[in-house]
Structure 1
Amino acid sequence: MSIKRIEPGSRMSQAVIFENMVYLAGQVGTPAASIEEQTKSILDKIDRLLAESGTSKSNVLKAEIWLSDMKHFNEMNAVWDAWIDPANPPARACGESKLATPDFDVEIMITAAKV
């Protein structure tokens, strides 16, 4: 069994594939942009990484979302709801947390299957 790493760096890989599972690192968007722009940027990165990993948003099993402040919940969800495959919604958690810098208001981590 081999492990494939996508965009590996000294600290982390952006995606790791093991067997039929794809694990994405937490993705952040354009710093200091609006919550909608950050979320859209993140989801574009997720689409790209999932495609490179041989899967798609239809195969997302779990999403973990962190917001810098829960006041962003509705705005983030408006972008999320337009992106997610409504026939295949993942299990999901969303909470408030300090993020890496004050310029980030949302971070999303995805686990998906390759089918």
Structure 2
Amino acid sequence: MIVRHVPGPIHHRVVEHDGTIYVGGLVAGDKSKDMKGQAEEIFAKLEDLLVQAGSSKKKLLSVTIFSAAFGERQGFNEAWTEWLAPEDFPVRAYIGGAELSEGTRVEITAIAAK
């Protein structure tokens, strides 16, 4: 069974299937923030969406990071290691050179267990 959560004009923010939660691309609302600030804002959104879907950040399986500011990766990693405990790290890919909306430094997609 497929369950769709948080509908939007062109997609659902979260889709659930067979005990797996898929979270679509998340970006920060405040484009004036640096990489760390945008990452922190996105992590708060992601955590909230996971909880709404009956999961948590401890159940993350995979995270894909699209960065328009690859040189600022350290700021992202600082926010990441403050947000997640090492024993809860999922697999991840950090992809640089992404063409994102103006002012967006990073966008994240995630997959988690229910």
TM-score range, shorter chain: over 0.9
SS of 2:58 mapped into structure 1: helix
- Pairwise CA distance, 1:9: 1.5
The ranges of structure 1 where at least 4 consecutive aligned residues each deviate by more than 4 angstroms after the TM superposition are: none
Q: Distance in 2 between matches of 1:87 and 1:14?
A: 27
Note if 1:79 corresponds to 2:71.
no
- Pairwise CA distance, 1:35: 1.1
In the comparison of the two structures, how many residue pairs are matched?
A: 112
Give CA-to-partner distance per residue, 1:6-52, whole Å, 9 cap, x none.
11122111111112000000100122321111111000000000000
SS of 2:86 mapped into structure 1: coil
Aligned equivalent of 2:104: 104
Aligned-residue CA RMSD (Å): 1.0
**Identity over the aligned pairs, expressed in percent?**
29
TM-score normalised by L of structure 2: 0.93
8 Å Cα contact 1:62-1:110 kept in structure 2: yes
Q: Which runs of 5+ in 1 are unaligned?
A: none
Counterpart amino acid of residue 111 in structure 2? T
| Bigger mean CA offset, 24-33 vs 37-46 | 24-33
Counterpart amino acid of residue 21 in structure 2? V
Aligned equivalent of 1:54: 54
